[in-house]
Amino acid sequence: MKGIRLQLALQSAAALMAVILAGTTRANDTGASTVSSHEVQAKLQYCEVCHGVSAQGFLGYYPIPRLAGQQIAYIENQLKGFVEHKRANNIMFNVGHVMSPAMIAALATSFHDLNPKPLGNAPKELVAAGKQIYEEGVPSANVLACATCHGKEAKGDGQFPRLAGQLYAYVTLQLTNWSKERGETTSDIMAPIARGMTESQIKAVAAYVSYLE
């Protein structure tokens, strides 16, 4: 009888320990998959050092892109590209590889929700030509209309990035040196488009989207 009681007691203790350990595991999992608003705000302020106030972009020696209003999936994918060295940028690698998936998701959402005015600063005489290319493409060069993927208002969709309000110098640089700038993240869609556009066409499109809100 005593043996039975001892066995039951041991089974109860084991069951209780299993419940405790399960609860601890769930708590640890939750902690690892969430970040506090304080941590997110601190990281946002850190990002703004380079990407400008409200992530509107920064026109310095090297144009640093606007992240405000950008598609969440696109930001997450590009950060992953930097971490995996599919895009070459030592600064962004150092920034990205220490961030948890939860922090990346929180930052991407925070950037997406920002909506400062565009910096503009592009030659306005190029806007009209850029608008035509954006909406109609360049049929003679088999260049699709930008609006096909990036949307009529250039606000993007999922993996297709927002171009509205993006820095003129940044868009020009990316399209002019597409393979070098984008590395292995170059899409099958954009590579031939970038190669098919002339320098003047690239500048025109870049000017047009830079003024869109």
Q: What is the CATH number of the domain that holds 128?
A: 1.10.760.10
Domain that holds residue 7: 1-32
Say which residues have a Cβ less than 8 Å from residue 54's Cβ, sequence separation at least 6.
48, 68, 114, 116
CA-closest candidate to residue 183, choices 84, 102, 45 = 84
Last residue of a domain, one of 61, 93, 113: 113
Q: Which pLDDT does position 147 carry in this prediction?
A: 98
Last residue of a domain, one of 113, 141, 174: 113
One domain, residues 25 and 43: no
One domain, residues 146 and 200: yes
Query: Residues in the chain with pLDDT < 70?
Result: 1-32, 183-187
Instruction: Give residue 164's Cα distance to chain centre.
Output: 14
CA 143/CA 2 separation, integer angstroms:
85
One domain, residues 43 and 109: yes
One domain, residues 132 and 151: yes
The verdict on residue 118 lying in a domain is: no
Count of structural domains within the chain: 3
Q: Which pLDDT does position 179 carry in this prediction?
A: 75
For the stretch 64-102, pLDDT in tens is 999 999 999 999 999 998 999 888 889 999 999 999 999
Q: Assess contact for 133 and 204: CB atoms under 8 A.
A: yes
Burial 50-84 (b: 16+ CB within 10 A, else e): bbbebbbbbeeeebbbbbbbbbbbbbbbbbebbbe
The verdict on residue 48 lying in a domain is: yes
pTM passes above 0.85: no
